[in-house]
Amino acid sequence: MTKVYITTDLEGASGVTQESQSFGERYESARASLTRDVNAAVLGARDAGAEQVVVLDGHGHNSGYNFVYEDLVDGARYHLGGGWTSYVQGLDESFTCAFAVAYHAMAGTRGAIMDHTQSSRAIVHLWLNDREIGELGMFVYAAGHLGVPVALVTGDDKTADEARALLGDQVVTAVVKYASKRTAALCLPPGEARELIRAKAIEAVKLAPTMQPLRAPDGECVLRVEYLRSEMCEGFWARTDVEMLDARTVVFRRANALEAMNAYCGLHYPPVAG
């Protein structure tokens, strides 16, 4: 059985270029854009023969409820709202491949649309085993731990570059906008953007059996997070399951990448004995 897992963000959605769309006064327009990108990815996956498609609404704004529910297409199941129990809620080893839809580049990527890692207000850098990664890398390694390759990434051209740096030429990308600065891009028109995502989703599912998941090396995984200000780390000093490298840098040591991501996101905390 072919099963496709889709996780989403919002900053990489078609036509989205500014923070006022991500969580401000123009947020409703961005929700609509994201929903239509997701629909295109779902339809493409189904066109390619996927019998099951599961979608996670992964943008943190609005309590994890960013899709316009009434506009979602049939043919998938949708995780909506907060209260996750895993960083990759609903993903397991049975999935054929995964898509990252409407993703953005990591913090510090020059000229990318709204580049950031988790929080543009709080996080400066994030490393997994000394490799700097962003939210795309976090998802790729978490899925890789479960043996699931990330087959498709949609967003701006800088995000596509980041995807290829992580996964090589095996990954399929759908570039729906070409960034010129953090808040401006040359965008495909809506119809062409969704046609591209649908076509690339078909391609990704067909190529997925040839793709390899990106796994962290065997052994302990070390996730290191550098915050902007020391006051943002005050809550970590009382925790016994983390290490404070300095006043702004917290270290999570776990058995694998997924456990490290869960610990960082506050899931499964406090740790379960054994």
> What is the DSSP pairing of strand 150-156 with strand 131-132?
unpaired
Domain that holds residue 30: 3-119+133-210
Token pair in block for residue 165: 């740096």
Q: Is 254 within the bounds of a domain?
A: no
Number of independent structural domains in the chain: 1
Q: Is 126 within the bounds of a domain?
A: no
Q: Is 260 within the bounds of a domain?
A: no
Instruction: Write the CB contacts of 250 (distance below 8 Å, at least 6 apart in sequence).
Output: 224, 225, 227, 233, 236, 242, 243, 244
pLDDT in tens, 199-233: 999 999 999 999 999 999 888 999 999 999 999 99
Q: Is 68 within the bounds of a domain?
A: yes
CATH of the domain at 115: 3.40.50.10780
Q: Is 238 within the bounds of a domain?
A: no
Q: Is 94 within the bounds of a domain?
A: yes
Lowest mean pLDDT among 14-23, 98-107, 168-177, 262-271: 262-271
Q: Rounded mean pLDDT of the chain?
A: 94
Q: What is the C-alpha separation between 223 and 227, in angstroms, rounded?
A: 13
Q: Is 227 within the bounds of a domain?
A: no
Concatenate the DSSP letters of all residues of 193-250 into one string. HHHHHHHHHHHHHHHGGG-----PPSS-EEEEEEESSGGGGGGGTT-SS-EEEETTEE
Using N-to-C axis directions, what is the helix angle for 135-145 and 257-264, rounded to 10°? 130
CA dihedral sign of residues 191, 196, 199, 204: negative
> What is the DSSP pairing of strand 249-254 with strand 221-227?
antiparallel
The answer to whether residue 274 scores a pLDDT higher than 60 is no
Would the pTM count as exceeding 0.85?
A: yes
